[in-house]
Copies of this chain bind each other. A is one copy, B any other.
Amino acid sequence: MTISVTEENYLKAIFSVTYPAEGRVGNQLIAEKLGINPASVTEMLRKLAEKKLIEYNRASGAKLTKEGLKAAIKVIRKHRLWETFLVEHLNFTWDEVHEVAEQLEHIQSDKLLDELTTFLGNPSFDPHGDPIPDKNGRIPNQKCKNLSEIETGKKMKVVKVADNTASFLKYLDKQGIALADSLIVKEIQDFDKSLLVEVKGKREVYLSAEAAKKILVE
């Protein structure tokens, strides 16, 4: 069975609003995620259900079947591997990779996927710290926390960011915060929950509570 680029994008969207939680995924949410009219989503979900890639009914909305999940994870795997390639070998910054990876993730070639994996050294995390599913679809789990949940004084390491938009990533660059940097929360402001953070044992920067929630540490 062939899955079109559009179908792959739906599966990915359904995955991303589902995982790891269970529960109802509405058309509207999918529509929003894809920037598409909800009326169009109805049609496509019906088609995906016919293809047995999702289960679709009023009660529970859209839910990936085993096969649909496999397909979605494969696309995500490809996306994250390509992002890794772009950053590690082609001098892309972490805020530049998304758009190109959105294209590259749809290239169909199992040999390409395997060889790329080997070329990159079978990485487990992408440049944003997101886990790269392995060949069998297993997703490395991270037991990380929001920076905003960390008590003062503890030395933590940045392992992931929860917002891959270019604007947020550029903001982090400007604050001098990158993946794998060590952070220590020095002070927490009571009135707005903003943080004073020591970065790599050197600089100190202020981060809003919103920003801190998007920085995941371990």
Contacts and interface: CB of A to CB of B under 8 A. Distances in A.
Interface in A81-135: 86, 89-92, 96, 99-100, 103-104, 107-109, 111-112, 115-116, 119
Contacts of A89: 119
A100 B90 contact: no
A100 B109 contact: yes
15 contacts: A86-B112, A86-B115, A89-B119, A90-B112, A90-B115, A90-B116, A92-B111, A96-B111, A99-B109, A100-B107, A100-B109, A103-B108, A103-B109, A104-B104, A104-B107
Interface in A29-66: none
Given A90-B115, A96-B111, A99-B109, 11 more contacts: A90-B112, A90-B116, A90-B119, A91-B115, A92-B111, A100-B107, A100-B112, A103-B108, A103-B109, A104-B104, A104-B107
Contacts of A96: 111
Nearest to A109: B100
Interface of A: 86, 89-92, 96, 99-100, 103-104, 107-109, 111-112, 115-116, 119
Q: How many copies does the complex hold?
A: 2
Given A99-B109, A109-B99, A92 B115 contact: yes
A91 to B, nearest CB: 6
Contacts of A92: 111, 115
A100 B111 CA distance: 10
Contacts of A109: 99-100, 103
A10 to B, nearest CB: 20
A119 B89 CA distance: 8
